[in-house]
Structure 1
Amino acid sequence: MLVAATGVGAGDLLTAGYAGSRVGLALIWAVLIGATLKWTLTEGLARWQMATGTTLLEGWVNRLGGWIRWVFLGYLLLWSLVTGASLGKACGVAGDGLLPIGDRATSQAIWTVVHAIGGLLLVWIGGFRLFERLMAALVASMFACVLLAAVLLRPDWEAVAGALVRPTLRRTDLPYAIGLLGGVGGTMTLLSYGYWIRETGRSGESGARLCRLDLGIAYLGTALFGIAMLVISSRVTISREGAEVALVLADQIGEATGPALRWLFLFGFWGAVFSSLLGVWQSAPYLFADFLQLSRARLDPDAADPSRVDLARTPAYRAYLVGIGLVPLILVGWSVRSVQLAHAILGAFFMPLLALTLLILNNNRSWVGHRFRNGWLPNALLVLTLVVFLVVGALDLHRRFFPSE
C-alpha cells in the first residue's frame, strides 16, 4: 500500500497523460514492463534486508566501502530538494483545481505551501500508525477515483486487449515509451520500503515471501493506475506542460461526460499527489537518519548498531523532515520544465546504480546465504533492469538536452 501510494504520483500521472494523448493505448506494454522492473529492484532490496537484518544503505556502506555514503548523501540532498519542489507544485495544482483561491498563480502558490507544511505536521505528530491510516484512505480515493473515471469513459476494451497482446513501438512513440518505462513506480522512494518493513518487524524467509506478495500487489496496482491514465488521456488532446495537464484532463473529461466525473478525477489526482508527498516526507528522513547512524558507527565502534535504533525518534529524522518540508519551497518559482529536467537527470543515475549493487550484494553467498542468493531469474531480471534503465536514462537525457534532434 505504501509503495503504491508513494511511487504513484504526479510523475506517473503526467507521463501517462502525455503518452495517452499522443499515442493512445499503444504503450500499455511499457507500463507493465516498467512496473515489473521496479518490482525486481524492490524485491531485491527486501530480500537483502530479510537475509542480513540490515537496510540496503547499510549494505552499501559496510560491503562496498564507506566512500559510497558520501556519494549517497549528495544525491539524497539534491533529490530531496528537487522532488520536494516537484511534489509541492503538483499538490498546489491539485488544490487549485479543487478549491481555487484568487488567481491561478496565487492559488497554486498558497496550496503548495499548505500541502508542504500540512504534510510535515501530519508526519511529525502522527507517527507511523497515523501515517499508515492516512495513506490507506488516500490510496483508496486515488485508485477508486481514477479507475472509476477510466471505466465510466467507456473505453474500447478490444483495443486495450489488443495493445496487451500485440505490443507495438513506432519511432515517433519512443519518447513516450521511455517516459513510461522510467516513470512508473518512483525512484529513490524504493529504498523507503526497507524502513517500512522494519517497522512491521519482518525477517527471514517468511518475511521475504510476504514482501514478494505485497510488492506484487503494489506494482499490479501501480500498473493498473498507469493503464487507467492511458485510457483516460487517450480520449483527449493535451497542449499544456507540467502538472496543469491534470486540470486539462479534468476539464475535457467534464465536457465529454459531465461535471461529476470531472470532480471524481480531480479528487483522484489530489489523492495521488498528496499521498506521494506524504510518503516522501515520511520516508526520506529515514535515509538521512540512517546515514548519520552509519557514520557514527564507522567513527565509534561502541556506537549503537543502526539496525537497533528507532530512526524515526532521532533528532536527525526530525530535522530532515523539517528540511524537506520547508527548503524546497524556495523552488516554487522554478519553471515546471526545469524541475522535471533535474528530476529526470537524478533518476537516470539512480536506477542503474541500484540494479548493479543488487547484482553484487545478492549474489555473494557469504553475505546473504544460499537461500536468499539470487537465482537465474532474479539475475536475468536485474541485468535486464540495468540495461533498460541505462538506455532509458541516456535516451531521456539526450531528448531533454537536445530536443530538436
Structure 2
Amino acid sequence: MRSFFKNIGPGTLVAAAFIGPGTVTVCTLAGTGFGYTLLWAMVLSVVATLVLQEMAVRIGIMTGLGLAEVIKQELRQGSWLKFPVIILIFSAVVIGNAAYEAGNLSGSALGIEGVFGKSYGAFYPALIGTIACILLWMGNYKILERAMIVLVILMSLSFICAAVMIRPDWGAVWHGAFVPELSGDNLLTVIGLIGTTVVPYNLFLHASLVRERWSGKEDLKAARKDTFISVILGGLVSMAIIITAAGSGLTDIRSVMDMATGLEPLYGQYAIYFIGTGLFAAGITSSVTAPLAAAYVANGCFGWNAVLTDWRFRMVWFLIIGTGVVFASLGFNPVELILFAQVANGILLPVVALFLWWVVNRTGLLGAYRNTPLQNIISGIIIVIAIILGSRSIAKVFGW
C-alpha cells in the first residue's frame, strides 16, 4: 500500500482539476435527464483524456520542459504562427481560468452550505480562496500533492458511496456504459460531458507537474501508471455522479445539491452529507489546480523559468484566486469573461491536440518514445472529436 501511494502524484492533480463543480453539474443533469444511457460518453471521455494526458506526460518527461515552452521552442523564431498561438494559449488558460475560478469557489461553497448550513454563506468563497492561497503559497510540491490526494480520495468516497446508496440497476449501468446512444436530444449533453473532462489546461498542467515529481526517461513508466490510475479514478467519480442522479428518480434538478436535498427524505441526512462533502472537495481542488495551471502557462509563455516560490508565479495564481473570490462573494457572474473563455478554449483544444500529435511524432525530439502507429490512429480519432467539440463550443457561444 505504501508503494502504491508513493507512485501516485501529478495525475491526482489532473483528476482533481477536471472534476470541478462544472463537471459535477453536467453529470447530474446527464443522469436526471437521460438516466444511465450517457455513461458511454464518460467512458469515451476517460479514454480520450488518458491518450492526451499520456502524450503530455511524455513531452514533459522527455524534454524537461512545460508544454507552453515546447510550443515556443518548436514554433521557431520568424514563424508567423508563434505570436498568435502563444497569445491564444495565454488568453485561454490564464484569463479563462480567472473567469471560471468564481464557479469553482461557488461550487465548493455550495457543498459547505449543504453540510454546515447557510448562516455564513457569504464568507465561504473567501474561506475556500484562503485555503487555496495557503496551499499554493507554501511552494512545496509534495505538500500540495498530498493535500490533493486526500481531497480526491474524500471526493471519490463521497460520490461513490452516494451511488452505491442509491442501489441502481447495475444491468442498466453496464448497458449505458458500453452501448452508445446518440440523438439530437442528447447531443449537447454528450458534448458537455466530454468537454468538461478533456480539459485543455490540464495538458499544460500535467507536462509541467511531471518535472516537479520526476526527472528522466527512467521515470516514464511510473508517470504513466500514475496517469492511468488517477484519470480512471476521476472517470469513476464522474460516472458515480451520473448513476446517483439517474437512480434518484428525480427530474426537477438544476444542481447537485438539489439532488442531495431531494434524496434526503428517502435516504436520510447522509445523502446531503455525502454529496455536500464531495462537491466541497471537487470545488476546492479545482480552485487550487486552475490557478496553478495558469501560473505554469504564464511561466512558459513569458520564459520566466520560475519556481513555485517565485513572486511572479505567485502573482499569477493570487490574481486568479482573488478575482474568483470577488466574483463569487458578490454573486457576480462574469458572463463576458466566461463567454470569452469558452471561445478561447474551443479554439485551444483542437490546436493543442494537433500540436501534441505533431510533437510526439518527431523523432528528433522524442526519439524512440515517439507515437506508435496504433497511438497515432487513436489520437487521430480523438483530434477529430476535439475539432468537433471546439467548433460546437464556439457555435454555441455565438448562437449559430
TM-score by length of 1: 0.87
Offset from partner CA, 1:11-44 (integer Å, 9 cap, x none): 2111111111100100111001111111111111
Offset from partner CA, 1:320-371 (integer Å, 9 cap, x none): 12211212334333348777655533332221111110122121212221x1
Structure 2 distance, partners of 1:250, 1:337, is: 27
- The 3-state SS of whatever aligns with 2:185 is helix
Partner in structure 2 of residue 58 of structure 1: 69
Which residue identity does 1:162 align to in structure 2? H
C-alpha displacement at 1:166, in angstroms? 2.4
Which residue identity does 1:247 align to in structure 2? M
Which residue identity does 1:18 align to in structure 2? L
Structure 2: runs of 5 or more not aligned: 1-11, 77-81
Partner in structure 1 of residue 379 of structure 2: 382
The 3 A distance-change label for structure 1 pair 357 and 401 is same
C-alpha displacement at 1:258, in angstroms? 1.1
2:275 is aligned, of 265, 268, 271, to 265
On the 8 A contact 1:188/1:350 being kept in 2, the answer is no
Range with bigger deviation, 113-122 or 162-171: 162-171
Partner in structure 2 of residue 232 of structure 1: 244
C-alpha displacement at 1:167, in angstroms? 2.1
**Equivalent residue pairs, number:** 380
Does structure 1 residue 279 correspond to structure 2 residue 289?
Answer: yes
Does structure 1 residue 13 correspond to structure 2 residue 56?
Answer: no
Range with bigger deviation, 144-153 or 386-395: 386-395
C-alpha displacement at 1:63, in angstroms? 0.8
Partner in structure 2 of residue 301 of structure 1: none
Does structure 1 residue 43 correspond to structure 2 residue 40?
Answer: no
Does structure 1 residue 94 correspond to structure 2 residue 94?
Answer: no
Partner in structure 2 of residue 186 of structure 1: 199
C-alpha displacement at 1:70, in angstroms? 3.3
Structure 1 distance, partners of 2:200, 2:359, is: 19
Structure 1 distance, partners of 2:264, 2:42, is: 26
1:210 is aligned, of 200, 209, 222, to 222
C-alpha displacement at 1:50, in angstroms? 2.4
Offset from partner CA, 1:208-241 (integer Å, 9 cap, x none): 2222211111121121111111111112435454
Range with bigger deviation, 285-294 or 250-259: 285-294
The 3 A distance-change label for structure 1 pair 186 and 360 is closer
Structure 1: runs of 5 or more not aligned: 295-305
On the 8 A contact 1:27/1:177 being kept in 2, the answer is yes
Give the aligned CA root-mean-square deviation in angstroms. 2.2
The 3 A distance-change label for structure 1 pair 210 and 148 is same
Which residue identity does 1:161 align to in structure 2? W
On the 8 A contact 2:48/2:198 being kept in 1, the answer is no
Structure 1 distance, partners of 2:339, 2:95, is: 13
On the 8 A contact 2:109/2:128 being kept in 1, the answer is yes
Offset from partner CA, 1:277-311 (integer Å, 9 cap, x none): 122233432222233325xxxxxxxxxxx4xxx52
On the 8 A contact 2:59/2:207 being kept in 1, the answer is no
1:354 is aligned, of 348, 352, 376, to 352
Partner in structure 1 of residue 316 of structure 2: 320
C-alpha displacement at 1:372, in angstroms? 1.3
Structure 1 distance, partners of 2:13, 2:36, is: 28
Partner in structure 1 of residue 159 of structure 2: 146
Which residue identity does 1:132 align to in structure 2? E
Structure 1 distance, partners of 2:380, 2:88, is: 23
TM-score by length of 2: 0.88
